[in-house]
Amino acid sequence: MIEINNLYKSFGDKPVLSGINVSIRDGDIFGLVGISGAGKSTLLRCVNGLESYEQGTLLVNGTDISSLSGAELRKFRSGIGMIFQQFSLLERKTVYENIMFPMKCFNYKKEEADARIHELLRLVELTDKIHSRPSQLSGGQKQRVAIARALAMNPNILLCDEATSALDPNITKSILGLLKKINKELGITIVIVTHQMEVVKEVCNNIAILSKGELKVSGSVQDIFLNRSEALNELLGASGIVKQGDKVLFEMVQRPGQADQLSRFALTTGIQFEVVWGGLDRYADSIAGTFTLAVDKGDFAKAEAYLDETGTEWRKV
């Protein structure tokens, strides 16, 4: 469990995190999202003690990070793996040696480390690359090595800082599939910093949206996207969709397992409308979405009656 309460951090006179309250349960895949400069990477680095903070508390499995130093802090960090956008592999070392590196720092026995390396290479599906160097690997393969290295010390938390931003869409999908596999099979809590909404929808269960160092909204991915908070609209660039004139705008919500709301509305009411925003998306293993419709003012009463009578989840824009 990661518990962050009223966290405040600054760089000099400039606040970068202010009043952050986030709770991440064990075994979750949690996203920290926001535009560049929102403070999400700084918050991630506070979790493993790479960054300090001035106020508030940050507890990881009940341990107050601010109380640790020296050997205690190093031991604490060994329980948290981290992967980065640019892989951060040692170019002159082989795949085997890169994964070995953290275990060597903690004086693992060679036999134990060797067995762990082979186990991890099977997990990330790179057993045939054991003696290769990073220059001989693709971007996706490099990230798989980085993931294996991050898991070398048997961490219970894995931090991912824009880990797929440098990869193409197909490779990104395969890396996200690997992260889901790690989460499911090993029970590791994963915290993902990203600005890619497709990453959030694909793997995250819960998210927090940060803006200018402040937490704007947090909750389940489906609820955040389907409820369309102002913070999400600003992040998606959807704040300017409202039209004026003789049109009324409203938003229909289609949650997982529900029938096609848009087709039912069109066939039942016969109202002409324009879809000005939205659509269906995949959230992990579920399909859901919202549709913002524009109808003539004269048709809105009929539309409202249909929505209320059928129990359709909707809201006026």
Rounded to an integer, what distance in angstroms lies between the CA atom of residue 73 and that of residue 7?
19
pLDDT at 259: 85
Of 231, 256, 282, the residue that ends a domain is 231
Residue 244: pLDDT band with limits 50, 70, 90: low
User: What is the side-by-side strand order in the sheet with 29-33?
Assistant: 80-84, 157-161, 189-194, 29-33, 206-211, 214-220
With both helix axes pointing from N to C terminus, report the angle between 261-269 and 297-309 in degrees, rounded to the nearest 10: 120
Greatest mean pLDDT among 67-71, 158-162, 195-199, 283-287: 158-162
Is the per-residue pLDDT at 4 higher than 60? Answer: yes
pLDDT at 130: 97
What is the rounded average pLDDT of the residues 40-66?
A: 93
CATH number of the structural domain spanning residue 301:
3.30.70.260
Of 231, 258, 290, the residue that ends a domain is 231
Give 215's contacts (C-beta < 8 A, 6+ positions apart).
19, 20, 21, 22, 208, 209
For the chain, counts of helices (H) and of strands (E): 11, 14
Structural domain boundaries, residue 299: 240-316
Amino acid making up residue 197: M
Q: Is the domain of 288 the same as that of 158?
A: no
pLDDT tens-place string over residues 57-84: 999 999 998 888 888 999 999 999 999 8
pLDDT at 58: 96
Q: Is the domain of 153 the same as that of 262?
A: no
Query: Which of 48-57, 74-83, 231-240, 255-264 has the lowest average pLDDT?
Result: 231-240
Q: Is the domain of 87 the same as that of 144?
A: yes
Q: Is the domain of 214 the same as that of 247?
A: no
Higher pLDDT, 35 or 125: 125
- Domains held by the chain: number: 2
In this prediction the pTM is 0.86
Is the per-residue pLDDT at 242 higher than 70? Answer: no
Give 95's contacts (C-beta < 8 A, 6+ positions apart).
121, 126, 129, 130, 131, 132, 133, 134, 137, 145
